Structure 1
Amino acid sequence: MKLECDNCSHTFNVNQIKDIKQEPVKNDIVRHFIECPDCQHKFTTHYENDAIREITAEIRRLQKKAPLKIKQKNKLHKLRRKVRIMADTLKTVVEKDES
């Protein structure tokens, strides 16, 4: 996937970025981001807090149990949806506080 930097207009392939960096935002919230290879402008990939990390760990545990039973597949699907919703909500809150 190609991305054009908002800062310097450099176009780069996101798939070639191997280093997703992290920085604390506040309390238990961590920002994950990649940087433009040309100007080091930061592009946020996602935010994460303790609650999201716990659910993500549970998702990993379930994935290791393959093959999954139907109940386990349903639980995995629900957990992934929950993480997506929580991450979107967290992003909205953090970016609202920053502006």
Structure 2
Amino acid sequence: MATVKHQIVDCDECKHKFKLKPSILKTEKVGEEVERTYFKCPKCKHKFIVVYKDKEFNNNLIEIDNIRKKATKVSANNKDLKELINLQNKLHERNLEISGMYKKIYGA
């Protein structure tokens, strides 16, 4: 059985080091259709925002997953592969914009 390695995080507030495990990630609704994913330092409870998501963000994630599946069926030298990569990058950039917009509204 493979061992899963978790990222080690240093708390900005108390400098406590801890593993970022999926079990400490929490999601809360902050707007009509906006969710915030975050985690807290287990020692001082300082809150770290990971991402904000809305319907468009989630639809983009689904499309990115579909693009990855299509890309595995295309040869590396194919023009279609470059187009798929460009589309994936655009969707990723859009999701960064969406999350950044909500960070300005709801806080980082």
Same fold at TM > 0.5: yes
Give structure 1 regions of 4+ aligned residues with deviation exceeding 4 angstroms: none
Which residue in 2 is equivalent to 1:74? 86
Post-superposition shift, 1:60? 1.3
Contact 1:5 1:36 in 2 (8 A): no
Which residue in 2 is equivalent to 1:84? 96
Which residue in 2 is equivalent to 1:12? 17
Post-superposition shift, 1:86? 1.6
Which residue in 2 is equivalent to 1:40? 45
Post-superposition shift, 1:85? 1.3
Mapped to 1, the partners of 2:107 and 2:11 lie a distance apart of: 21
Which entry has the higher C-alpha Rg, 1 or 2? Answer: 2
Post-superposition shift, 1:90? 1.6
Computed over aligned residues only, the root mean square deviation of the Cα atoms, in angstroms, reads 2.0
TM-score (norm 2): 0.73
Mapped to 2, the partners of 1:53 and 1:60 lie a distance apart of: 11
Where 2:93 maps in the other structure, the secondary structure is helix
The alignment-based identity, stated in percent, is 23
TM-score (norm 1): 0.78
Mapped to 2, the partners of 1:55 and 1:21 lie a distance apart of: 21
Unmatched 5+ residue regions in structure 1? none
Unmatched 5+ residue regions in structure 2? 1-7, 75-80
Number of aligned residue pairs: give it. Answer: 92
